[in-house]
């Protein structure tokens, strides 16, 4: 009754939340198992950004609930954004669910599972499902534990804030994650120090809008924002060799952040900079507080700071009222920025958001066609940028075996995935890689010259 499998849907924040839940459960004596077929408890950590994500999780929950017929003690829980968004109403469609826990209550999961298990072992009827989606002050400070033992990683996620105060007309995140709340800077730095001591070499700072970190809690010092102050402190941690962050908002990119890419060499030359649309008219309808011109100024300022800067982005096609001309402006902006990678989403109606009530909803076949056109455009650009790296030498942080288990994988400073042969002892090391070929999203090559210039996990270099 103590084997738990956690299946995660959605973003890196969700992955980080699942790690924290797993760590808390391990501390209570639960076993985290890799296969849902072997578990006594299945927890689905869900996403609500698009309707398709919710339907996928609901389908999995419905399928998994059937296990109760042959295994009455089986426990099924739904966590995260869909739990927060739908709450007790999920039981109308999924009456066999035992546990529904919202985004501010992850730390309560071990207690609730203990209660459910104790009732089953005592033969006491459980009755109604446990539902907890209430707000809780200070909940942003509870998601800090990481999985230990065999699951420790070279690359670690660190949550620095939760919630969002933006009011994008298409987005349900402020509803599912609550108001913006930042963790204390000292706590974040301590967590990063602990991770570095356990072998983490790359830290990714996570938040709904990371660039807004601490804006109500810490003063700007010498024109430097609290977020950049946090970057400076993490940069000074011995053992941390690379720093990344996601997801930012264009509004948070001031000159102090651009300058940080010059002053702080551990910051990788990659920025995820969501644009959503290249049309000023659509951006206004989305309630995005910038123009295409301002967005391109930000791109120029970052490339001025780091000419090798790579960009990824989020784009929504088929937003209500989007015309062919609007879509053409988005395509033109994508060509101008020359993204390395992009996440393209067909607009999805989210009940309760302003855009759900907007007129001129774009037909599904038009969304499909615009999605295809933009995918082709971005795929062509990404392949060209990848192939431009063939014949060059790139610094790779070796993360571990690839999905086949036959080779190893890591990323460049610009966040491009690489696959190569390497001895296991190089995991956690920075190595030079000669790139021999490239696909749209992956580089392939050889560590070269053999063992030259290597920086081991036991003796990280000072960049």
Check whether 123 has a pLDDT greater than 90: no
- Is 263 contained in some domain? yes
The residue ranking higher by pLDDT, 1 or 47, is 47
Beta-bridge partners for 396: 431
To the nearest 10°, the Cα dihedral for 202, 208, 209, 214? -80
Nearest by Cα to 82 from 101, 59, 109? 101
- 207 and 295 part of one domain: yes
Q: What is the mean pLDDT of residues 213-239?
A: 96
- Is 463 contained in some domain? no
The residue ranking higher by pLDDT, 347 or 118, is 347
Nearest by Cα to 80 from 24, 120, 39, 21? 21
- 55 and 76 part of one domain: yes
- Is 457 contained in some domain? no
Check whether 456 has a pLDDT greater than 50: no
Check whether 455 has a pLDDT greater than 50: no
Cα–Cα distance between 164 and 175 in angstroms, integer? 9
- 101 and 180 part of one domain: no
The residue ranking higher by pLDDT, 461 or 165, is 165
CB 99 within 8 A of CB 83: no
Rg (C-alpha) for the chain, rounded Å, is 23
* Secondary structure class of 135 (helix, strand, coil): coil
Nearest by Cα to 180 from 254, 251, 109, 104? 104
> What is the predicted pLDDT for the residue at 452?
43
- Of 99, 132, 165, the position where a domain reaches its end is 132
- 251 and 345 part of one domain: yes
CATH classification at residue 296: 3.80.30.20
Q: What is the mean pLDDT of residues 223-236?
A: 97
Cα–Cα distance between 202 and 246 in angstroms, integer? 13
Residue with tokens 């829980």: 77
- 252 and 360 part of one domain: yes
- 290 and 200 part of one domain: yes
- Is 151 contained in some domain? yes
- Is 456 contained in some domain? no
CB atoms within 10 A of CB 407: 14
- 212 and 360 part of one domain: yes
Confidence tier at 427 by pLDDT (50, 70, 90): very high
CATH classification at residue 61: 3.40.50.12160
- Give residue-wise pLDDT tens across range 279-299: 999 999 999 999 999 999 999
- Is 461 contained in some domain? no
Which residues make Cβ contacts (< 8 Å) with residue 406, sequence separation at least 6?
none
- Of 387, 410, 433, the position where a domain reaches its end is 387
Cα–Cα distance between 349 and 295 in angstroms, integer? 26
- Is 254 contained in some domain? yes
- 96 and 144 part of one domain: no
Check whether 138 has a pLDDT greater than 80: no
- Give residue-wise pLDDT tens across range 9-37: 988 888 988 988 998 999 899 999 999 99
292-305 and 255-263 helices, crossing angle to 10°: 20
- Give residue-wise pLDDT tens across range 356-384: 999 999 999 999 999 999 999 999 999 99
The residue ranking higher by pLDDT, 69 or 311, is 311
Share the mean pLDDT of the chain: 91
Residue with tokens 């940080």: 260
Sheet containing strand 202-206, strands side by side? 155-159, 202-206, 242-246
Cα–Cα distance between 230 and 444 in angstroms, integer? 34
Cα–Cα distance between 362 and 352 in angstroms, integer? 18
Least confident span in 150-154, 229-233, 351-355:
150-154
Domain span at 63:
3-132
- 329 and 434 part of one domain: no
> What is the predicted pLDDT for the residue at 102?
93
- 358 and 409 part of one domain: no
> What is the predicted pLDDT for the residue at 125?
59
> What is the predicted pLDDT for the residue at 16?
86
How many separate domains does the chain show?
Answer: 3
Q: What is the mean pLDDT of residues 41-48?
A: 94
The DSSP 8-state label assigned to residue 349 in this structure reads: -
Q: Buried b vs exposed e over 308-334: b needs ≥16 C-beta within 10 Å?
A: ebbbbbebbbbbbbbeeebbebbbebb
> What is the predicted pLDDT for the residue at 145?
63
Nearest by Cα to 360 from 320, 399, 308? 320
CB 133 within 8 A of CB 101: yes
- 104 and 81 part of one domain: yes
- Of 97, 132, 167, the position where a domain reaches its end is 132
> What is the predicted pLDDT for the residue at 275?
98
Q: What is the mean pLDDT of residues 51-73?
A: 88
Check whether 89 has a pLDDT greater than 80: yes
Check whether 449 has a pLDDT greater than 70: no
The residue ranking higher by pLDDT, 147 or 384, is 384
Least confident span in 145-149, 188-192, 196-200:
145-149
- Is 460 contained in some domain? no
Concatenate the DSSP letters of all residues of 191-249 into one string: HHHHHHHTT--EEEEE-TTGGGTTTTTS--BTTB-HHHHHHHHHHTSTT--EEEEE---
- 199 and 228 part of one domain: yes
> What is the predicted pLDDT for the residue at 309?
97
């Amino acid at each position: 009754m103590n084997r738990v499998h956690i299946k995660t849907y959605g973003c890196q924040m969700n992955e980080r939340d699942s790690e924290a839940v797993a760590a808390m459960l391990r501390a209570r004596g639960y076993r985290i198992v890799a296969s849902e077929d072997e578990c006594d408890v299945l927890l689905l950590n869900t996403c609500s950004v698009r309707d398709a994500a919710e339907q996928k999780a609901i389908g999995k929950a419905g399928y998994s609930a059937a296990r109760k017929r042959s295994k009455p003690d089986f426990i099924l829980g739904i966590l995260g954004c869909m739990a927060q968004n739908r709450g007790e109403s999920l039981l109308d469609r999924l009456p066999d669910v035992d546990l529904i826990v919202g985004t501010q209550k992850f730390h309560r999961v071990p207690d609730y599972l203990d209660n459910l298990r104790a009732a089953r072992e005592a033969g006491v009827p459980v009755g109604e499902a446990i539902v907890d989606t209430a707000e809780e002050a200070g909940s942003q400070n509870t998601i800090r534990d990481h999985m230990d033992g065999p699951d420790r990683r070279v690359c670690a996620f660190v949550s620095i804030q939760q919630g969002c105060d933006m009011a994008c007309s298409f987005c349900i995140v402020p509803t599912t994650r609550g108001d913006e709340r930042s963790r204390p800077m000292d706590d974040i730095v301590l967590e990063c120090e602990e991770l570095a001591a356990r072998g983490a070499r790359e830290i990714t700072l996570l938040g709904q809008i990371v660039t807004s970190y601490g804006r109500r809690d810490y003063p700007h010092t010498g024109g430097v924002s609290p977020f950049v102050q946090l970057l400076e402190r993490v940069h000074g941690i011995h053992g941390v060799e690379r720093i990344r962050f996601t997801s930012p908002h264009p509004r948070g990119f001031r000159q102090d952040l651009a300058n940080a890419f010059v002053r702080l060499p551990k910051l990788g030359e990659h920025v995820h900079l969501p644009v959503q649309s290249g049309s000023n008219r659509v951006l206004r309808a989305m309630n995005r507080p910038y123009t295409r011109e301002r967005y391109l100024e930000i791109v120029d300022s970052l490339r001025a700071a780091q000419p090798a800067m790579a960009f990824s982005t989020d784009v929504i096609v088929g937003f209500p009222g989007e015309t062919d001309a609007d879509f053409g402006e988005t395509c033109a902006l994508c060509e101008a920025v020359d993204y390395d990678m992009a996440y393209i989403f067909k607009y999805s109606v989210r009940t309760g958001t302003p855009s759900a009530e907007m007129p001129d909803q774009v037909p599904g076949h038009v969304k499909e066609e615009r999605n295809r056109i933009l995918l082709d455009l971005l795929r062509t650009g990404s392949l060209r940028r990848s192939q431009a790296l063939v014949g060059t030498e790139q610094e790779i942080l070796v993360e571990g075996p690839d999905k086949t288990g036959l080779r190893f994988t890591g990323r460049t400073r610009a966040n491009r995935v690489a696959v190569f042969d390497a001895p296991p002892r190089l995991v956690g090391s920075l190595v030079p890689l000669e790139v021999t070929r490239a696909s749209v999203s992956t580089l392939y090559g050889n560590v070269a010259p053999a063992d030259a210039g290597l920086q081991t996990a036991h003796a990280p270099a000072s960049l």
